[in-house]
Amino acid sequence: MTSPLPLPYRVGYGEDAHRLSEGRPLTLGGVPIPHAERGAVAHSDGDAVLHAVADALLSGLALGDIGHYYPDTAEENAGLDSRVILQESLALVREWRYRPVNVALVVTLDRPKLGPLRGDIARSLAALLGLPETEVGVSFKTSEGLAPDHVQVRVTVLLVRDRD
Ligand code: C5P
Ligand code: MG
């Protein structure tokens, strides 16, 4: 690919959505959600937070998206641990000498309430990204009943370039 401009900062944005189905676990940001009646239907482990964060990292450097690197048609990606997707996306960003400095995400899910898990999700994501917990903003919204059968995540990330 053509080298991205050596801007001091770059912004990334990512989204993901998964359909919810009974009999599946729900994991968000690497945190298992207890009492979730339904979990994500997915080729991988369906962690929509990790998928959206990985896409946000890649988008900041116009490196494509996770479907490009991990096609959901590939047998070897079945049940893939999304932490691996995130770590490899982070490694690609590091190859271009950028690193995330803060992340803001919104999870849209009608049930269960996720507020009590905000700190757990922020800490988990911070650890995966090598950031302090204070730099990971985690917000929750319901769809107000408009989309009760899916979980959706939207993420922005600020990337900073290493000093020369
Ligand atoms: O979508 P709504 O604005 O009604 O959500 C109200 C609040 O409920 C949110 O600001 C958030 O604090 C909380 N919430 C939550 N878990 C969800 C959805 C919303 O804790 N799954
Ligand atoms: Mg996904």
Note the pLDDT tens digit of each residue in 36-49: 999 999 888 899 99
Binding residues: 16-18, 43-44, 51, 65-67
Q: Measured from the CA of 112, which atom of ligand 1 is nearest? A: 21
Atom index in ligand 1 nearest the CA of residue 116 equals 20
For the residues 125-140, what does the mean pLDDT come to?
98
Ligand 1 center from residue 111 Cα (angstroms): 9
For 6-39, how does the pLDDT look when each residue is reduced to its tens digit (9 = 90+)? 999 999 999 999 999 999 999 999 999 999 999 9
Cβ 148 under 6 angstroms from ligand 1: no
Residue 107 has pLDDT above 90, yes or no: yes
- The share of the chain scoring above pLDDT 70, in percent, equals 99
Cα(2) to ligand 2 centroid in Å equals 28
Across 153-163, average pLDDT: 97
For the chain, what is the mean pLDDT? 95
Distance between CA atoms of 90 and 54, rounded to whole angstroms? 7
pLDDT of residue 1: 60
**For the chain, what is the HEC assignment?**
CCCCCCCCEEEEEEEEEEEEEECCCCEECCEECCCCCEEECCCCCCCHHHHHHHHHHHHHCCCCCHHHHCCCCCHHHCCCCHHHHHHHHHHHHHHCCEEEEEEEEEEECCCCCCHHHHHHHHHHHHHHHCCCHHHEEEEEECCCCCCCCEEEEEEEEEEEECCC
Q: Is 113 in the pocket of ligand 1 (CB under 6 A)?
A: yes
Closest ligand (CA of 153):
2
Tokens standing for residue 91? 């490694």
Q: What residues pair up with 31 in beta bridges, in sequence order?
A: 28
Closest ligand (CA of 117): 1
Gap between the Cα atoms of 144 and 64, Å rounded? 32
Q: What does pTM read for this prediction?
A: 0.96
Is the CATH number 3.40.190.10 carried by domain 9-161? no
